[in-house]
A and B are shown apart, each in its own frame.
Chain A
Amino acid sequence: MTLTREPETAEVLAALSVPETNPGFSRRRFIQASAIAGGGVAFAPMLSHLEAFAAPPLKSTDAILVLITLGGGNDSLNMVVPHNDSNYHALRPNLGFDAGQTLNINSAVGLHPSLVKLKQRYDAGDVALIQGVGYNPPDFSHFTSMAYWMQGWGGTSQSVPTGWIGRYLDDLPNAAIESLYAVTLNTNGVPLHLVGSQGRGSALPMSVGGRFGINRSNQDDARLYDDVAAIARAGRTGLGQWGDTIARTNANVLRLTGRIAPAYPANPNNNWFVRQMELVAGLVNRNLGIRVFNVSLDGFDTHTGQLAGHAGLMDSLDKGIDALFTKLNPSWADNVMSLTFSEFGRRPEENDGAGTDHGTSGAAIAVGPRVKGGLYGQMPSLANAQLVDYGNLRSHVDYRSVYATVLDKWMNADDHEILGKTYSQVGFVNSHP
């Protein structure tokens, strides 16, 4: 990244008209293009990127990951319930579920009563429940703990300003330009896990009706959109690489709007999480080249009144996951896996407000036709002597082991490079598409 050692070098690099960090249009390729196209080559880089924008379409062998952020710290003990554990019932006299209430997987474990559809998928072999996932030493801050989960970094340098999906994006072709490799819905800006040193996800809106570039039915709007794009289509701006990139990005925005708008359902679901998942299915079905989706379900910080609140969230989670796999075009369903994560689990012992406080490890749920269904990890012991850090659960599976599995077995990516370390894997992926 030494663009500006001297003006001459900068002029040469600016002539390439795409950021130097972009590996897709190296100086060598530019020179090759020049040699072939002769005198008219000056505009070639821009035009080629207009065509390439928005991530190349996926092939039938590409994997798609849908990350479900459960914000606030999900009470995993009441999601994957040790219904037969007397310690559980002693710790949760008011909040605990007994075996008659849970959707039982075996004599020890059952799912929250609201996870009806998920239980059916579990019985069909499409659901992995990974128990005891966390990190050490635990940090009970929402902020710090979520930062760990999003960074997903185990390298020797203490912290990095990038996220694990972002570093995955960095390794894809044209990482700095292709902003549709990963998208986030329902977030304010692009969350850390989707930010790499070059690649970066895009935040897509939950509705597009009145947004710039979408509705061309008004002649004056349509003309404006065309005029904005025309500045890029006319060729080089004469303002250097960033002037060109600005013009090109504006034109790309207008291409993007045309591509994503049809994916938005005409009658979106009233449940905000289901709405996100239906939109994910719509975007997958149109094959816009999106490899990673981030969706979010918030409200898990259930310090009080947990029973009803958590049940509502579990119901939304159940309906959302079902909506995703129901709405997916069958030809794409095999390429999709969803994975939940939350910054921490909650404390085993209920508090005086019929809620639970910040805790440590929790369960992650992976769903998809190529998931190897079953129970993974280890349910942390609830025996008093086994609790740590003020009555909290031990972690048995490092959260980065879950990521390593996803990266290596599902995304076909270099888990060691992306995570900064090799983590033992959890065998919940049957096969790559």
Chain B
Amino acid sequence: MAAPDDVAHLMRRAGFGATQAEVTTLSAMTITEIVDLLVDDVVTPDDSNPPAFFNDPNVNDWEWEYLLQQWWLDRMATAPKPLQERMTLFWHGLLCSENAKVGNMVLMYDQNKLFRDTGMGNFRTLIHTMSLQPAMLHYLDNSYNYKGNANENFARELMELFTLGVNQYTQGDILAAAKAWTGYNIHDNDSTQYIYYDSRHDHSQKTFMGQTRNWNGPGIIDFLLQENLAKKTVSAKYIVNKLWTFFAYPNPSANIVDELAQVFLDNDLEMQPLLRALFVRPEFYTTTAKQGLVRSPVEWVAAILKYTGLTADNINPQWYMGDMGQTLFEPPNVAGWKNNQYWLNASAMWQRADFTGNVINQLFNWSDDPNIDTSVRDSIITILDGGGANRFVDAVDYALTAFGIFNPSANTRRQLIAAVTRQSHTGSWDQRTWSNLVVLVLLSPEFNLA
């Protein structure tokens, strides 16, 4: 029997949140059993279909990007495989590409699908495949990496950002790796296709990390993530640190990193055993972890979609998320998004506040569009209009629970009750009392914590 608060926390982090019914059901199991369910819940190839608009000749290129953003947000909210979707988002923020540079959403979708397909498989295999996909070849300029004119961009980031971290290589190593990656380009006549041009590959002997060989690109990955145990260990720790920061909190202690990295190494860089070990650690259920992360804009919007039943097409989050600080398929640079304070900029939070207006307009659906799920609205109205002696308290408790806040702080709950009560006393006994309550929940500290 798992504690409901732990279950809710696990589902917020390993997925995109849980309803109270889901928490109740899952709490009949142990944490280990729930983690097994989440970690084993993977389909390969993934069960998403290419969005229908990809084959629609009436949809313009520029529309593809926001349609794909909507498609992915909806998929997170409904999350048929919650952890698989989470890991897709994790890899998107680590093995970054930006459509602003790639300029082709089909290639971006291919990369997204790779993350979904194999993001819970073997890390080394993922790096191999990702490196030769056109999205990455375009994004980090390996498309221009030729013999005699080596472009170091990809070779550097492969080590600095994707596998090892800083200070693990010399400039000479980067140059050797860049030469090893020469010839792994984009087809001269088809910018959507990877091709290896042997004539553009530098076949000379190169010295990489002290080893002089006729290195090639994939050989660099195999050296770092298989052959050389020291580098493989560095990489395991690097990825564990990133994962812990993504799922629990930044700056994990050395023993957490070391122990999880050992699990990762013992399983030859397979992700599933690592994730299983991560989510059962007691540190994952401490107050430090539960209060350790702010919801990113993507997580915040996905939670709104999940708890309201609205679709991204209903409320168009894509027009707001740039100023919130996170646009899917457009990370700010190759280093991806940061966390916590990064999201808590006044202008970024202002955009969240603005966006709640869109949510309210659709959720309260005053035109009674039959395609809109109005259950949250109807329940709030029923409670407040029912005239019960505790209706203000009941309405607040319902609204908090409906948005996945099962354990609110005394302060937030008190302020919300005061707000609803004050509004009724000043004669504003109308739709605004109901909708203001939902805005207060969406902007509450609880709903903005991950």
Chain A residues at the B interface, C-beta cutoff of 8 Å: 1-7, 10-11, 14, 19, 21, 53-54, 143-144, 147, 157-158, 161, 176, 179-180, 188-190, 192, 195, 198, 200, 202-204, 211-213, 219-220, 223-224, 227-228, 230-231, 234-247, 249-250, 252-253, 256-257
Contacting A7 at CB < 8 Å: which of B166, B288, B322? B288
B420–chain A nearest beta-carbon distance, Å: 9
Q: Contact: A188 with B323, CB < 8 Å?
A: yes
Indicate whether A1 sits within 8 Å of B251 (C-beta atoms), given known contacts A19-B341, A212-B357. yes
Complex CA gap A10/B289 in Å reads 10
Q: Contact: A179 with B346, CB < 8 Å?
A: yes
Q: Contact: A234 with B251, CB < 8 Å?
A: no
Contacting B449 at CB < 8 Å: which of A14, A54, A230, A243? A243
State whether the Cβ of B55 lies closer than 8 Å to any Cβ in chain A.
no
B340–chain A nearest beta-carbon distance, Å: 6
Summed over the interface, the residue pairs from A and B with CB atoms below 8 Å come to a total of 169
Q: Contact: B346 with A202, CB < 8 Å?
A: yes
Complex CA gap A220/B291 in Å reads 32
Contacting A227 at CB < 8 Å: which of B335, B354, B411, B419? B419
Contacting B287 at CB < 8 Å: which of A53, A240, A245, A257? A240
Q: Interface range on chain B: under 10, 10 to 19, 20 to 34, or 35 or more?
A: 35 or more
State whether the Cβ of B428 lies closer than 8 Å to any Cβ in chain A.
yes
Q: Contact: A189 with B325, CB < 8 Å?
A: yes
* 10 shortest interchain CB distances as A-B pairs: A240-B291, A202-B347, A220-B432, A243-B445, A212-B353, A227-B419, A238-B409, A161-B335, A188-B322, A246-B445
- Residues of the B chain whose Cβ atoms lie less than 8 Å from the Cβ of A7: 286-288
- The chain A residue with its CB closest to the CB of B420 is A227
- Residues of the B chain whose Cβ atoms lie less than 8 Å from the Cβ of A53: 346
Complex CA gap A287/B147 in Å reads 56
- The chain A residue with its CB closest to the CB of B103 is A143
Interface centre among A11, A19, A198, A238 (most CB of B within 10 A): A238
- Residues of the A chain whose Cβ atoms lie less than 8 Å from the Cβ of B293: 242
A335–chain B nearest beta-carbon distance, Å: 24
Q: Contact: A204 with B292, CB < 8 Å?
A: no
Q: Contact: A243 with B409, CB < 8 Å?
A: yes
- The chain B residue with its CB closest to the CB of A202 is B347
Selected A-B contacts with CB under 8 Å, 11 pairs: A1-B251, A2-B251, A7-B288, A211-B354, A212-B354, A220-B423, A224-B436, A228-B443, A239-B446, A242-B291, A246-B349
State whether the Cβ of B77 lies closer than 8 Å to any Cβ in chain A.
no
Q: Contact: A231 with B288, CB < 8 Å?
A: no
Q: Contact: B436 with A223, CB < 8 Å?
A: yes
Indicate whether A14 sits within 8 Å of B291 (C-beta atoms), given known contacts A192-B332, A211-B354, A231-B445. yes
Q: Contact: A179 with B345, CB < 8 Å?
A: yes
Complex CA gap A1/B241 in Å reads 14
Contacting B341 at CB < 8 Å: which of A21, A224, A235? A21
Complex CA gap A227/B345 in Å reads 20
- Residues of the B chain whose Cβ atoms lie less than 8 Å from the Cβ of A244: 445
